[in-house]
């Protein structure tokens, strides 16, 4: 089975440009997560969805960040306008339905550099 | 609130010697606990998980962890380190009763394996 698929794997963009990161979760998984990883702050949860509905977006850093999940097989994380401090690895992850102890499966990450 | 503390940011061992990566957690209820591994420039992969069944959990690649409620610990061990074990390891807690579906990550322990 295919895992969580993210694109692009690497992106270098100029400050002020719009960045869109894409994610295809594992088929049949009801939960989708966006995480950000930096040296300074480690892994942070940005937002997660259940059945395409955003449940908790308290980790989204500011209004420049937005995330959507138009259907069960696709999600985007958008940064507009981008800033150098947004440089990080962004991970998408998915998890099947259920409660305690369900494993979260991670994609390989999107490595973003804003110059 | 739930939290997890990884007691060592870096651990260095010689190939063939035992590995111990320490983790303490804090949770209001009975948690689920995980260890994830991240190899350089890769996504995160599940090593093992504890979900209130057996307190000694065996994972992939010869790793295991023991849940000790009295010590609020979930240390990761391996009898004999291999060069391919060099990576970053994350201890993770999930407390479903809070209603927050996502995981809380520790700050990570970087494992170096010397030849």
- Per-residue pLDDT tens digits of chain B, which is 115 residues long: 678 999 999 999 999 999 999 999 987 677 889 999 999 888 899 999 988 778 899 999 999 999 998 999 999 999 999 999 999 999 998 865 555 556 788 999 999 999 9
According to DSSP, the residues that pair with B109 across neighbouring strands are: B89
Between β-strands A110-114 and A10-13, what pairing exists: parallel, antiparallel or unpaired? parallel
Between β-strands B73-78 and B56-58, what pairing exists: parallel, antiparallel or unpaired? unpaired
Mean pLDDT for A30-35 is: 92
Q: By the 8 A CB rule, do A37 and A89 touch?
A: yes
| pLDDT value at residue B97 | 55
Name residue, tokens 């980790």: A59
First to last CA, chain A: 36
| pLDDT value at residue B54 | 83
- State whether residue B3 sits within 8 Å of chain A by CB: no
In B38-67, the residues whose Cβ lies within 8 Å of chain A are: 41-46, 49-52
| pLDDT value at residue B32 | 85
Measured CA to CA, the distance from residue A64 to residue A16 in angstroms comes to 11
Q: By the 8 A CB rule, do A68 and A76 touch?
A: yes
| pLDDT value at residue B102 | 64
> Phi first, then psi: what are they for B61, rounded to 5°?
60, 30
| Closest-CA residue of chain B to A48 | B102
Å between A91 CA and nearest CA of chain B? 8
Exposure of B25 by Cβ count < 10 A (0-12 exposed, 13-18 middle, 19+ buried)? buried
pLDDT for A57-110, tens place per residue?
988 988 999 999 999 999 999 999 999 999 999 999 998 875 556 788 999 999
- State whether residue B93 sits within 8 Å of chain A by CB: no
Measured CA to CA, the distance from residue A14 to residue B59 in angstroms comes to 42
First to last CA, chain B: 41
Six-digit token pair at A8?
């692009």
Are B105 and A43 an interchain contact pair (Cβ–Cβ within 8 Å)? yes
Q: Is the pLDDT of residue A21 over 80?
A: yes
Name residue, tokens 């930096």: A38
Å between B93 CA and nearest CA of chain A? 9
Please report, for residues A4, A106, B47, B58, the alpha-carbon distance to residue B55 in angstroms, rounded to integers and kept in the order given.
30, 25, 15, 10
> Phi first, then psi: what are they for B105, rounded to 5°?
-95, 145
């Amino acid at each position: 089975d295919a895992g969580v698929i993210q694109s692009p794997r690497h992106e270098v963009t100029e400050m002020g440009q719009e960045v869109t990161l894409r994610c295809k979760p594992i088929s049949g998984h009801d939960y989708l997560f966006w995480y950000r990883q930096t040296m300074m702050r480690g892994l942070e949860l940005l937002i997660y969805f259940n059945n395409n509905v955003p449940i908790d977006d308290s980790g989204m850093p500011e209004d420049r960040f937005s995330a959507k999940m138009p259907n069960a097989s696709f999600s985007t994380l958008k940064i507009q306008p981008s800033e150098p401090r947004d440089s990080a690895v962004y991970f998408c992850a998915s998890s099947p339905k259920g409660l305690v102890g369900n494993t979260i499966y991670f994609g390989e990450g999107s490595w973003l550099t804003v110059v | 609130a739930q939290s997890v503390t990884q007691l060592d940011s870096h651990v260095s061992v010689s190939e063939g010697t035992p590995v111990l990566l320490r983790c303490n957690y804090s949770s209001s209820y009975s948690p689920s606990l995980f260890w994830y591994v991240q190899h350089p420039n890769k996504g995160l992969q599940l090593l093992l998980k504890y979900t209130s069944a057996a307190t000694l959990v065996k994972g992939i690649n010869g790793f295991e962890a023991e849940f000790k409620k009295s010590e609020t610990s979930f240390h990761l061990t391996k009898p004999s380190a291999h060069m391919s074990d060099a990576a970053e390891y994350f201890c993770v807690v999930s407390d479903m009763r809070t209603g927050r579906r996502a995981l809380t990550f520790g700050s990570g322990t970087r494992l170096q394996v010397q030849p």
